[in-house]
Chain A
Amino acid sequence: MAYKVKDPEFFKKRLKEADQTTEEEGASGEKEKTTPFRAKPLNISTAVDSVLTDTIKLLYEVEYAKMAEEIEKLRENAVRERFTIAVVGEFSRGKTTFLNQLFEREFLPVSNLPTTAVLTRIRHDSDEKIEVFDEKNKKNQERELSMESWEDLTVQNFGGEDFDGEVLVKIHSELLLHSNLEFIDTPGAGDLDETRAKGIGDVLLGCDGAVIVISATSPLSLSEKLFIEERLIARKLPFLLLIITKLDMIPPEERAGVVQYVVNKLKQWKLDIPVYIPYDIEWSETTYDNITGMDKVKGEFARWIANPLRMALHETWVMEKTLDIVNHVSSSLTERKLLAEERDQAKQEALISEKKQKLARAQLVWGDLRIQMQRKCTECCKLLLSQADVYAAAITERLQYEVSHANHLEKWWTEDFPYRVKIELTNMAVGINSAALSQIENDARWYRAKIKQTFQSYILYQRQAIVDKTLFGNFDPGRDIEFENLDRQRTAFKIGSAVLSISGCALFSALGFLPIAATMGVGTGAAIFSEKFFGRKIEAQREELKKEIARCVPLFIRNSMEESERRLEAVYRNMIDEAHKSEQAWLNAQQASIDNICIQKDGQNAKIQEFLAKLQWQTDTIQSLLIQEDKDESESYHE
């Protein structure tokens, strides 16, 4: 029988974690300094990476290990941020085949029938396996990476029952490893019920890019156009490319025509999306060598990842956070110095005691601010709901007016109405989004100001330091609660896109592409009015349609607002969490200064002074890098 190893995760732990283990085990007995683990600087430049490493080392040196660990975490988060690419398209367009060919191995199941039933994430791992997660995102199975493992995970095996979980495929892949890429294979878009369509919509919100797969045998249908517009363009997915599969299934002489047709269609629809053919193919005359081959597709991925704007966002995010932490430490060190300078033992003790009391009070204020912010979230939701009611009434009125003037009611109801609803809801989404963002911005500003006020009223010594040492000229404790740059863009579009996705669904359902009207409790188009109804007198029809509009429009909006409300709450929760992190950092720094003053030794003041100078230097370096980032960002924007 094999011997069980004492710590199975030992080699997965980096130096710092291993240190903690040995300390717990009492192997060394003494607390030792740790050396930071340096991961691959993929999303941040060497200059930023080097500044972060120096800062971490310095913080360990000044015995602010918790703060150093925080920067290490930030750095690792920035570095390890995956670039997620979703592979999307209608069913049986060859999405999974594309992925198999991309990785040059058959590891995902394919067949002529719709096959992919669940969202399948593909990540690098040297230990290849399949992990199955349930709808609560809890891992409930691990399987070997083989075709047999997929047997109960394909569409044919669900027999009408939905599996709402996800599958994570871990494969050894150089492509994924060196670029921190992650792919998501999605079920066919035309193959989804409403819940799963929404689920995929949510996944797309978290993606950096998407590969749209279309088949040469039925290139760019109207529903595909709508899918691209509603689910990808409207969600501001920054990187898109379109690939044409199954070109080998049409005669060689027609292939160039299909490609040209797709390119022209995209131009005609004003969709600026590059087109690629991922497999080498035989052409009769015109060839498309410049867009043919998997290497070209990989090249496009490489360009996405290397996009300077993306790196700049990562860098700004991590540097701003680091700057805050450094500022906290500087503030705390200054206090230590001032407290230690007080030679009278009794006075020093009184100062420490006063500081402890202030800290306790500050904690209460922090808590109170959190509650107030939660109230503001509720108020914001109420405001948006009342705005939505106003929109609902106005849209209903407009549509009823149109009904009363339409000559061909059946045509209006089956063709114009879904389109009008889409337009109205899109406008409403834009309006509500903008109102929500403005409200959020106001609340964030308020929160930031309050936190700053709290800091200033409780850090008395720091004011002196500003005057004396000009250490805190740029001290802005509220910086944390500005949205994280990385999430700013995504979050901003989440609120309105819920409305957009519903309006998209409404259109689909009316056109008969997605049978979701029943599940939404909304009936549109011919589905609810029979031929007999349209045989009635026109005035009676008008009245019926007006009633139906009055019933279904508010219902559409209510459905969409429920989702929007959930997302709005998430935005506020993020802000509160961010501030909470800042609070923890501040409290840790303050507590450390109290703890350290108690073990202050002679001659340490000079050392503190030296550390303060070093921290100032780090602050200056980070700030100069941030200024450079701002400059680069605005230059690339103007370009």
Chain B
Amino acid sequence: MVRTVSIERIKKNLKTNGFFLNCKIPIGYTAGFPILQVRNESLCILFPYLKYQTTGEIDRTLVFPVRYGILMELPTEKIIGFEDYEYREIFKNIDFNKPVGFFRHDAVKKYNREQYKTLYDELMKEYDKVINALLGNGNYSFDDERRMRELLQILIEPSLLSVYQAIDMDFYYKYLSKGDESYGI
């Protein structure tokens, strides 16, 4: 029997992990909403790290592109990868020092701090549910999936969506794609 996984606990443990500390992610970077992946039939979680910079104005906190990724296998919480996206071909034209958007974005402006926290906590619970269900330790219903999709689409900064898409297409199309973008080359 696999022990129940909690995403909040993983994040807490990560901060004191030796490997993570050696990655020397600069101060100021914080973990965004994690991406779940299946690699060689093992469940993995990828924490994208990005920077926020306050400007003193309400709803004008600068959001910078996702710069680092820490990949971890579940449920062991073993770190199996670290990547600085600055060196990935697909991000070669991204200026990581240039902000891409603001926090709070339109979809969350209507919520006060408490309401935002409630939604955030709910989303984390949905992460826990899907992780535990995939590890054979609980159920994850259609309603859960739909709710997780809704919450992610509300909470995630729209300016970061393209990065999420580039990092993991499957996660993006399952949870983040609204399907109304226009594409072309």
**Residues of A in contact with B (beta carbons under 8 Å apart):** 2-15, 18-19, 22-23, 25, 27-28, 32, 34-35, 37-42, 46, 49, 53, 104-105, 126, 172, 174-175, 177-179, 181, 298, 301-302, 305-306
User: A41 CB to closest chain B CB, in angstroms?
Assistant: 7
Q: How far, in whole Å, are A175 and B89 apart by their CA atoms in the complex?
A: 13
User: A408 CB to closest chain B CB, in angstroms?
Assistant: 57
User: A298 CB to closest chain B CB, in angstroms?
Assistant: 7
Q: B13-52, CB under 8 A of A: which get 1 and which 0?
A: 0000000000000000000000011101111000000000
Interface residues of B in 130-185 (CB under 8 A from A): 133-136, 139-143, 145-146, 149, 168-171, 173-174, 177-185
Cβ-defined contact, A13 with B174, below 8 A: yes
Cβ-defined contact, B41 with A11, below 8 A: no
Q: How far, in whole Å, are A174 and B89 apart by their CA atoms in the complex?
A: 10
Q: How far, in whole Å, are A522 and B170 apart by their CA atoms in the complex?
A: 54
Q: Give which listed residue, B36, B73, B139, contacts A11 with CB less than 8 A.
A: B36
Which residues from chain A contact B173 at a C-beta distance below 8 Å?
A: 14, 37, 39
User: B22 CB to closest chain A CB, in angstroms?
Assistant: 23
Q: Give which listed residue, A2, A12, A40, A126, contacts B183 with CB less than 8 A.
A: A40
B58 on the A face (CB < 8 A): no
Q: Give which listed residue, A18, A27, A35, A42, contacts B139 with CB less than 8 A.
A: A27
Cβ-defined contact, B41 with A5, below 8 A: yes
Which residues from chain A contact B94 at a C-beta distance below 8 Å?
A: none
Cβ-defined contact, A39 with B142, below 8 A: no
Cβ-defined contact, A8 with B145, below 8 A: no
User: B6 CB to closest chain A CB, in angstroms?
Assistant: 16
Which residues from chain B contact A8 at a C-beta distance below 8 Å?
A: 38, 41
Q: Give which listed residue, B149, B177, B185, contacts A301 with CB less than 8 A.
A: B185
User: B109 CB to closest chain A CB, in angstroms?
Assistant: 25
Cβ-defined contact, B143 with A15, below 8 A: no
Nearest 4 CB-CB pairs, A to B?
Answer: A38-B179, A27-B139, A11-B170, A19-B142
Q: How far, in whole Å, are A46 and B178 apart by their CA atoms in the complex?
A: 13
- Which residue, A19, A53, A105, has most C-beta atoms of chain B within 10 A? A19
Q: Contacts A22-B140, A28-B141, A301-B185 known; list 17 others, CB within 8 Å.
A: A3-B42, A5-B134, A6-B133, A7-B134, A8-B41, A9-B38, A11-B37, A11-B170, A27-B141, A32-B142, A35-B146, A38-B180, A49-B179, A49-B180, A126-B168, A126-B169, A298-B185
Which residues from chain A contact B142 at a C-beta distance below 8 Å?
A: 15, 18-19, 22-23, 27-28, 32, 34
B79 on the A face (CB < 8 A): no
Cβ-defined contact, A3 with B43, below 8 A: yes
Q: B77-90, CB under 8 A of A: which get 1 and which 0?
A: 00000000000011
A/B interface sample: 25 pairs, CB < 8 A = A3-B2, A3-B42, A3-B75, A5-B43, A5-B134, A6-B134, A6-B135, A11-B168, A11-B170, A11-B174, A22-B139, A27-B139, A27-B142, A34-B142, A38-B177, A39-B177, A41-B179, A105-B89, A174-B90, A178-B183, A178-B185, A179-B185, A302-B184, A302-B185, A305-B185
B76 on the A face (CB < 8 A): yes
Cβ-defined contact, A5 with B135, below 8 A: yes
User: A169 CB to closest chain B CB, in angstroms?
Assistant: 16
Q: How far, in whole Å, are A334 and B140 apart by their CA atoms in the complex?
A: 38
User: B88 CB to closest chain A CB, in angstroms?
Assistant: 9
Main SS class of interface, A = loop
User: B20 CB to closest chain A CB, in angstroms?
Assistant: 20
Which residues from chain B contact A14 at a C-beta distance below 8 Å?
A: 173-174
Cβ-defined contact, A2 with B40, below 8 A: yes
B7 on the A face (CB < 8 A): no
Interface size on B, residues (CB 8 A): 41
Which residues from chain A contact B41 at a C-beta distance below 8 Å?
A: 2, 4-5, 8
Q: How far, in whole Å, are A179 and B173 apart by their CA atoms in the complex?
A: 16
- Which residue, A105, A126, A177, has most C-beta atoms of chain B within 10 A? A126
Closest residue of A by beta carbon distance from B78: A2
Q: B82-103, CB under 8 A of A: which get 1 and which 0?
A: 0000000110000000000000
Cβ-defined contact, B143 with A32, below 8 A: yes
Closest residue of B by beta carbon distance from A105: B89
Q: How far, in whole Å, are A11 and B43 apart by their CA atoms in the complex?
A: 10
Q: A6-B135, A8-B38, A19-B142 are in contact. Are A37 and B179 (CB under 8 A)?
A: yes
User: B84 CB to closest chain A CB, in angstroms?
Assistant: 17
Which residues from chain A contact B10 at a C-beta distance below 8 Å?
A: none
Q: How far, in whole Å, are A9 and B89 apart by their CA atoms in the complex?
A: 27
Cβ-defined contact, B42 with A42, below 8 A: no
Q: How far, in whole Å, are A298 and B184 apart by their CA atoms in the complex?
A: 12
Q: How far, in whole Å, are A7 and B139 apart by their CA atoms in the complex?
A: 12
Q: A5-B38, A174-B90, A302-B185 are in contact. Are A46 and B146 (CB under 8 A)?
A: no
Q: Give which listed residue, B42, B76, B182, contacts A4 with CB less than 8 A.
A: B42
Closest residue of B by beta carbon distance from A17: B174
Closest residue of B by beta carbon distance from A42: B183
Q: How far, in whole Å, are A42 and B133 apart by their CA atoms in the complex?
A: 34
Q: How far, in whole Å, are A306 and B182 apart by their CA atoms in the complex?
A: 12
Closest residue of B by beta carbon distance from A50: B180
Q: How far, in whole Å, are A534 and B15 apart by their CA atoms in the complex?
A: 91
Cβ-defined contact, B42 with A11, below 8 A: no
B108 on the A face (CB < 8 A): no
User: A52 CB to closest chain B CB, in angstroms?
Assistant: 11
Q: How far, in whole Å, are A5 and B185 apart by their CA atoms in the complex?
A: 36
Which residues from chain A contact B169 at a C-beta distance below 8 Å?
A: 126, 177
Q: How far, in whole Å, are A104 and B170 apart by their CA atoms in the complex?
A: 25
Which residues from chain B contact A15 at a C-beta distance below 8 Å?
A: 142, 145-146, 149, 174
Q: How far, in whole Å, are A6 and B146 apart by their CA atoms in the complex?
A: 20
Closest residue of A by beta carbon distance from B174: A11
Which residues from chain A contact B38 at a C-beta distance below 8 Å?
A: 5, 8-11
Q: How far, in whole Å, are A11 and B134 apart by their CA atoms in the complex?
A: 10
User: B171 CB to closest chain A CB, in angstroms?
Assistant: 6
Cβ-defined contact, B184 with A178, below 8 A: yes
Which residues from chain A contact B145 at a C-beta distance below 8 Å?
A: 15, 18-19, 22
Which residues from chain A contact B171 at a C-beta distance below 8 Å?
A: 11
Q: How far, in whole Å, are A40 and B165 apart by their CA atoms in the complex?
A: 12
User: B178 CB to closest chain A CB, in angstroms?
Assistant: 7
